[in-house]
Amino acid sequence: ILNVEQSPQSLHVQEGDSTNFTCSFPSSNFYALHWYRWETAKSPEALFVMTLNGDEKKKGRISATLNTKEGYSYLYIKGSQPEDSATYLCANSMNRDDKIIFGKGTRLHILP
């Protein structure tokens, strides 16, 4: 994998259901993996920054895991609510002082 890839591109989930989606990134020269939430007509907002293999972070009903050896991260949302509707972006960097490269995002729609 040469770029940051996210799947699926779009996802519809019933309110109350749990869901997850994937970010794949180059596993060589890894430094950090970022997750952002981007609501329509707003700006991206940082959720997590993870650096260690096996790392798991949680913020309320949202959590993320990291596997640096195989180059993927999962974002989980438990008990989806309408306010979770947004685009979720992941981004990776290869060293401490480098830029981060964004994936194209997963657009999540929560159905009432």
Partner 1 sequence: DAGVIQSPRHEVTEMGQEVTLRCKPISGHNSLFWYRQTMMRGLELLIYFNNNVPIDDSGMPEDRFSAKMPNASFSTLKIQPSEPRDSAVYFCASSLVGTGGQPQHFGDGTRLSIL
Binding site for partner 1 (CB under 8 A): 31-32, 34, 42-46, 49, 51, 89, 93-105
Return the number of the residue (47 or 80) whose C-beta is nearest partner 1.
Answer: 47
CB of 22 to partner 1, least distance (A): 17
List, in order, residues 6 or more apart from 32 with CB less than 8 Å away.
49, 50, 51, 92, 93, 100
Return the number of the residue (14 or 95) whose C-beta is nearest partner 1.
Answer: 95
- Residue that is written with structure tokens 């798991």 in the block: 56
CB of 92 to partner 1, least distance (A): 9
List, in order, residues 6 or more apart from 15 with CB less than 8 Å away.
80, 81, 82, 110, 111, 112
CB of 18 to partner 1, least distance (A): 25
